[in-house]
Structure 1
């Protein structure tokens, strides 16, 4: 299957992408991983992306599209892939369609993870990270530490990242509504969108997604 995963920040796209890709035996292709791999390997696209990023500028669509194209041409993606974070806007979606068409392929589904805006804010703004070890992550509501502000694992101080503040989250949501959400309508016109609720436990959402992709819902 060739799937695009969409949803607002805090919808759990990365978590669901990993589980779905494993269940479907297809690679999980995330924009973040693409950028990290190309920059660390110093590919031509990676160098180009880094030059824009170092200058504080947005990386042009054609660079992101080029990275995605290279990755989708790898042998492990021959039978499908799950795209996470790409396409990010309608022009990228159009480019993806052209890319697949030129290879005689097309998307099978666009999975839209639906989460109420207030829940997104609650999920992200409630995160607390350990200063000693950033892999230790807590949540004031869903997984609170035993002692307020103290990491259970190492006793480090817990803090809220600037990116996780409510103001920042709401700004990220505005960007999502303006830039990324329009691709849902773009794909709805092609009859590809499958919308599911991303509320509940991780495994519940995964089962919901698998059922929807199989056409059981």
Structure 2
């Protein structure tokens, strides 16, 4: 099983690249945001618990999110692997995910981070803001704040996976296809190594 975490700040093209990776490598796209929405709409016990926190304006606790990931893994026993999007965001989440995957006799195979300069992200998001209708994409100071929050949250997670020799930065500037080729070759290289061991 090949489990991939894709990191990237807002505006890095992570959504676009996730779709392409899922199509090409046959992975199941596991977006915690989508999982939350699905569990809530299906009124599952985890979904109801999550909704209770969200209705109070609180973050959904890690145990609930890990529970949702667990049930998603259970629903797809035949999966070739999963692409984790938007999770883990903290060391605690990374450790909880590692434990859950170990129980399933698998692990994170690779962590790829789209590396895009702050100025390029600001440019892209301001451009997206003209058409997206998202107010947080039209204010440069908010965009820069989102970027610093992203860096502050995810750098420790990057370090966690660097220690396991699973982390790789991929240049996230250039055409969509160029970036996809770089991501694909990093994944294929990892798959070749795994096949030989």
> Shared fold (TM-score greater than 0.5)?
yes
Q: Following the alignment from structure 1 to structure 2, what is the Cα–Cα distance between the partners of residues 42 and 167?
A: 38
Normalized per residue, the structure richer in helix is: 2
How far apart are 1:126 and its partner, in Å? 2.1
Tell which structure's C-alpha radius of gyration is larger: 1
- Counterpart of 1:61? 62
Q: Following the alignment from structure 1 to structure 2, what is the Cα–Cα distance between the partners of residues 52 and 41?
A: 17
- Counterpart of 1:209? 183
Q: Following the alignment from structure 1 to structure 2, what is the Cα–Cα distance between the partners of residues 200 and 77?
A: 35
- Counterpart of 2:52? 51
Q: Is the 8 A contact 2:129 2:135 kept in 1?
A: no
Alpha-carbon RMSD: 1.7
- Counterpart of 1:123? 124
Question: Which aligned pairs between 1:47-196 and structure 2 lie closer than 5 A?
Answer: 47-75=48-76, 78-128=79-129, 137=131, 161-164=134-137, 165-196=139-170
Provide TM-score, normalisation by structure 2: 0.89
Q: Which structure 2 residue ranges, 5 or more long, are not aligned? A: 191-197
Q: Following the alignment from structure 2 to structure 1, what is the Cα–Cα distance between the partners of residues 147 and 78?
A: 31
Q: Following the alignment from structure 2 to structure 1, what is the Cα–Cα distance between the partners of residues 59 and 91?
A: 16
How far apart are 1:77 and its partner, in Å? 5.7
- Counterpart of 1:32? 33
Q: Following the alignment from structure 1 to structure 2, what is the Cα–Cα distance between the partners of residues 161 and 195?
A: 28
SS at match of 1:4: strand
SS at match of 1:214: helix
Q: Is the 8 A contact 1:187 1:193 kept in 2?
A: yes
- Counterpart of 1:197? 171
- Counterpart of 2:195? none
How far apart are 1:22 and its partner, in Å? 0.7
Q: Which structure 1 residue ranges, 5 or more long, are not aligned? A: 130-136, 139-159
SS at match of 2:106: coil
Q: Following the alignment from structure 2 to structure 1, what is the Cα–Cα distance between the partners of residues 78 and 126?
A: 35
Deviations along 1:23-77, one digit per CA (max 9) or x if unpaired, are: 0011111112111111111111111111111111111111111111111222266
Provide TM-score, normalisation by structure 1: 0.81
Cα gap change, 1:77 to 1:109, in 2 (>3 Å): farther
